Amino acid sequence: MKLCLVALIVLASFNNLLSQTKPDKKMDTFISTLMKKMTLQEKIGQLNLVSVGFDVTGPVVSKNVDENIRKGNVGAVFNTFTPVAVRKLQEMAVTQTRLKIPLLFGYDVIHGHRTIFPIPLGLSSSWDLVSIGKSARIAAEEAAADGLNWVYSPMVDIARDPRWGRISESSGEDTWLGSQIAKAMVKGYQGSGLGQKNTVMACVKHFALYGAAEAGRDYNTVDMSRRRMFEEYMPPYKAALDAGAGSVMTSFNEIDGIPATGNKWLMTDLLRKQWGFNGFVVTDYTAINEMVAHGVAKDLHEAGALALQAGVDMDMVGEVYLSQLEKLVKDGKVTVALINAACRRILEAKYKLGLFTDPYLYVSESLAPQVMMKKEFRDAARDIARRSMVLLKNHKQTLPLKRTGSIALIGPLANNQRDLIGNWSGAGDWKKAISVEQGIKDLIGNALVVNYAKGANITDDTLLIKRLNAHGGELAIDSRSPDEMIREAVQVARRSDVIVAVVGESQGMSGEAASRADIGLPGRQLDLLKALRETGKPLVLVLMNGRPLTLKWENEKADAILETWYAGTEAGNAIADVLFGIYNPSGKLSVTFPQSVGQIPIYYNYKKTGRPFLGGVLDKYRSRYLDVTNEPLYPFGYGLSYSTFSYGDVKISGNSMKPGGSIDVSVSISNVSTFDGEEVVQLYIQDKVGSVTRPVKELRNFKKVFLKAGETQNITFTISEDDLKFYDAAMKYWAEPGDFNVDIGSNSRDVKTAMFTLTK
Ligand code: BGC
């Protein structure tokens, strides 16, 4: 069944890709005819994207929207949905404007629309491409039934700095995994092709390198070598485009001194000429205007010229194109040809979405209630949520829990609903989310006594609470003092058999403009855990957070730790399933957890240095810290299971590969436990000597396999020359002959190795 689904999606997206790249004469003629009728101002109007409604993600808000739509000054709107609201604006565009051109309707559908799935960092931890694709498919079904035809996802920025709040929206640190996820998401959104009632156009963001903001501070400068850019950061964008994504969003940061939104090398030379992208490019929120603050344009006039000349087609909220382009043409600073090209690309998107045939294709008042949050979608959300959870520690099989006796359910997130759906879940209704308390009670019923205590506030910082609540948070400070709350929790723990402490961040502590310099548990939560530890009762931590946290004490002292991210609408049910062994955890980290914030940036595929630390305690002139080891707390790819998997030695079909050839590597893996379970078998390759320095290893493949208790399977991977390629000193992409290590294992650290040679 799963295979069938994958095959269908692959075939559909191949057709989709073909339909996007092959010339479409009918479309060209239609658009040429239309454009002949358009005035310059009407063409400029198509380049204008306005925000209508509630969600504001920048300091500026669109004004006079209705009037501008009627005048033909608007090409697309976002932040509004429901068939009724969309119909109203679409009607305005197709009945009250001179040329009756329909609008695009966009929205930040990031991890589900009405049914909310785990945050992207959580989704990526499932290493389950079928499930990830399914989450995007369901999101598209709901979004399209809500009048939308364009979603601002996937975000494919490689993110390695847990201080950066937007790491929560990413697929983590790895290029190869991130690229597979990028493809799965685009295929999920765009389904069997654009122009269907239940598909939406994807928008790949943020092009490019946004995840590399210095010091993890949002919107900060990025500076990166071309080598790192092409080897590590660019492939996921390219993968999303190869999967047929119809649009691209610019990033806020600069690249080589020029903001992405005004960067011709990026938007034209690379994106269009080198990669052959033929969709349209939209700016991020007011990113053209921000080029003035960046200091590359003295005013909006110059900023508008920079963006258009760079190849940026649509202006999100900034209205710089609307206010400046006509004058820029008059002043001879931009050509009408550039405006024509941008306008054509936007009209093409509308054509591909079927809007010229039926502007109300996505607007059905009767469909919406049948589609939204239907049982099938909620069931899928529960299953995907369970798959995204990562078991970080399980001392003496503390988990799964017994279904009898009593548990102390403690912590500010234990009966919380708001935070479960995470950030970027604008259309999600947190009141429909299942809390952990609810999930446990529904699953186990009366056989288990659940004793609840809040134990701590998420944070006691009143200014921070004010800031978070001003943007959708629901944080409150308990009327009792922190010490009183801890005392009550300890009493509750004393009269229970086991403690389940649900702790972490509030959802608004990650996401956009939510960087943190200290990434430990906020507020008094660690003090709470320390007091609970003193009771001597088994201590299980259920974590909710949008980034890797520093968890040194927690890792040493807790008996079990389950990372659940923000698991979405079905969070509480999914967490209960895992805690009580209905589902055996199978997630693996897609991002490294540091021991200390001072180790950042820390990631598994680092480069070798000339003075590597080799373990000598007294060694001085080595690449190391005085106060912490170089190791992460949990490495990339790490995650436990209730099963125990044992790996055999890596067997290789030959110890040399010819250019253009391939070799097979295999490993036997046994489930030596009494639990059926799934394991993500990971394959890494290390190029031992290159003409330029190479990473210590790079993920090149993985398989998620199910093994019954006691079962052994032989897993085979094929390695081809393509898996060995990189950019040499002259930036030529090829595979240099030489020796390679192949590591196979259950995470990036615990592997078994074999070797082969790529011959000349
Ligand atoms: C974010 C984008 C988002 C856009 C529209 C921006 O602030 O960076 O990711 O798509 O707002 O809401």
- Residue 298: CATH number of its domain: 3.20.20.300
Cα radius of gyration rounded to whole Å, the chain: 26
Q: 159: phi > 0 → left, psi -120 to 50 → alpha, else beta; which?
A: beta
DSSP 516-561: -S--S--TTHHHHHHHHHHT-S-EEEEEE-SS----HHHHHH-SEE
Q: Probe ligand 1: pick from 49, 50, 57, max atoms within 8 Å of CB?
A: 57
Residue 3 Cα, ligand 1 centroid: separation in angstroms? 35
Report the nearest atom of ligand 1 relative to the CA of 155. Answer: 9
Q: Which structural domain range is residue 668 located in?
A: 645-758
291 and 434, same domain (yes or no): no
CA of 201 to the centre of ligand 1 (A): 16
Using DSSP's 3-state secondary structure scheme, residue 497 falls into coil
Say if residue 469 is in the same domain as residue 554.
Answer: yes
Is there a catalytic annotation at residue 284?
yes
Residue nearest ligand 1's atom 6 by CA: 285
Question: For residue 213, how far is its CA from the centre of ligand 1 (angstroms)?
Answer: 16
Say how far apart CA 115 and CA 124 lie, in whole Å: 18
Let me know whether 552 and 492 are in one domain. Answer: yes
Q: How far apart are CA 164 and CA 121, in angstroms?
A: 13
Q: Do 514 and 463 share a domain, yes or no?
A: yes
Going from the Cα of 275 to the center of ligand 1, the distance in angstroms, rounded, reads 24
Question: 49, 52, 80, 108: which to mutate for ligand 1, most atoms within 8 A of CB?
Answer: 108
Q: Residue 595 falls within a domain, yes or no? A: no
- Residue 519 belongs to some domain of the structure: yes
Examine the fold and report which residue of 334, 365, 396 is the final residue of a domain before the chain moves on: 365
Same domain as 360, residue 435: no
* Cα separation, 699 vs 718, whole angstroms: 14
Same domain, 348 and 393: no
Q: What pLDDT sits at residue 651?
A: 97
User: Does some domain include residue 625?
Assistant: no
Do 328 and 445 lie in a common domain?
A: no
pLDDT at 491: 98
Residue 163 is assigned to a structural domain of this protein: no
Token representation of residue 440? 């446990």
Instruction: Transcribe 25-69 into DSSP letters.
Output: HHHHHHHHHHHHH--HHHHHHHTEEEE-SS---SS----SHHHHH
Q: What DSSP string describes 393-410?
A: EEGGG-PSPPSSEEEEEE
The CA distances from residue 756 to 649, 655, 669, in Å, are 15, 4, 22
Ligand 1 site residues, Cβ closer than 6 angstroms:
57-58, 108, 152, 205, 284-285, 512
The one catalytic residue among 174, 284, 419, 687: 284
758 Cα–ligand 1 center, Å = 45
Nearest-CA residue for ligand 1 atom 8 is 284
| Residues 562, 480 share a domain | yes
Site to probe by mutation for ligand 1, drawn from 77, 285, 424 as the one with most ligand atoms within 8 Å of Cβ, is 285
Q: Which residues contact 201 (CB under 8 A, 6 or more apart)?
A: 104, 149, 150, 151, 189, 190, 194, 245, 246, 247, 349, 352, 353
- Give a yes or no: residue 528 inside a domain: yes
Q: Distances from the Cα of 292 to the Cαs of 251, 298, 320, 433, in angstroms?
A: 15, 6, 12, 42
Torsion of CA 407, 409, 415, 418, to 10 degrees: -130
User: Which among 50, 81, 152 is the best mutation to test ligand 1's pocket, defined by most ligand atoms within 8 Å of the CB?
Assistant: 152
**Å from CA of 76 to ligand 1 middle:** 15
Q: Which atom of ligand 1 is nearest to the CA of 205?
A: 9
Atom in ligand 1 nearest the alpha carbon of residue 249: 10
In CATH, what number is assigned to the domain containing residue 395?
3.40.50.1700
Residue 311: what pLDDT?
Answer: 98
Q: Are residues 359 and 390 in the same domain?
A: no
| Residue 605 domain flag | no
CA of 492 to the centre of ligand 1 (A): 43
175-190 and 2-21 are packed helices; what angle lies between their axes, rounded to 10 degrees?
80
**pTM, rounded to two decimals:** 0.96
Alpha-carbon distance values, 717 to 297, 590, 703, 708 (Å): 52, 21, 9, 21
Which residue positions in the chain have pLDDT lower than 70?
A: 1-21, 54-60
Q: Which atom of ligand 1 is nearest to the CA of 55?
A: 12
Rounded distance, CA 430 to CA 451, Å?
Answer: 24
The answer to whether the CB of 123 falls within 8 A of the CB of 171 is yes
Do 543 and 690 fall into the same domain? no
Domain count within the chain: 3
State the Cα–Cα distance between residues 167 and 653, nearest whole angstrom. Answer: 39
Q: What is the pLDDT, as a whole number, of residue 715?
A: 98
Q: If you measure from the C-alpha of residue 108 to the centroid of ligand 1, how many angstroms do you get, rounded to a whole number? A: 7
Q: 543 and 477, same structural domain?
A: yes
Boundary residue ending a domain (543, 572, 590): 590
Look at residues 527, 555, 590 and tell me which one is the last residue of a structural domain. Answer: 590
Q: Report how far apart, in Å, the C-alpha atoms of 88 and of each of 76, 240, 369, 496, 713 are.
A: 14, 33, 19, 57, 58
The minimum-distance atom of ligand 1 relative to the CA of 58 is 7
> Which residue is closest in CA terms to ligand 1's atom 2?
284
Give the integer Cα–Cα distance in Å for 60 and 56: 8
pLDDT more than 90, % of the chain:
95
On whether residue 502 sits in a domain, the answer given is yes
* Ligand 1 closest atom vs CA 108: 10
Within 8 A by CB and 6+ apart from 586, the residues are 126, 128, 387, 639, 641, 677, 678, 679, 680, 704
- Number of the ligand 1 atom closest to the C-alpha atom of 169: 9
* Ligand 1 mean position, distance from CA 285 (Å): 6
Alpha-carbon distance 735 to 665, whole Å? Answer: 19
The residue nearest atom 7 of ligand 1, judged by CA position, is 57
Q: Are 302 and 271 in contact (CB under 8 A)?
A: no
Are 575 and 694 found together in one domain? no
What's the CATH number where 734 sits?
2.60.40.10
Distance 52 CA to ligand 1 centre (A): 14
Q: Which atom of ligand 1 is nearest to the CA of 152?
A: 10
Query: Looking at residue 56, what is its pLDDT?
Result: 59
CA of 98 to the centre of ligand 1 (A): 31
Report pLDDT for 81.
94
Ligand 1 nearest-atom number relative to CA 203: 10
Q: Where are the alpha helices (DSSP H) in 333-475?
A: 336-352, 367-371, 375-388, 436-444, 462-469
- The answer to the question of residue 49 being in a domain is yes
Å from CA of 594 to ligand 1 middle: 28
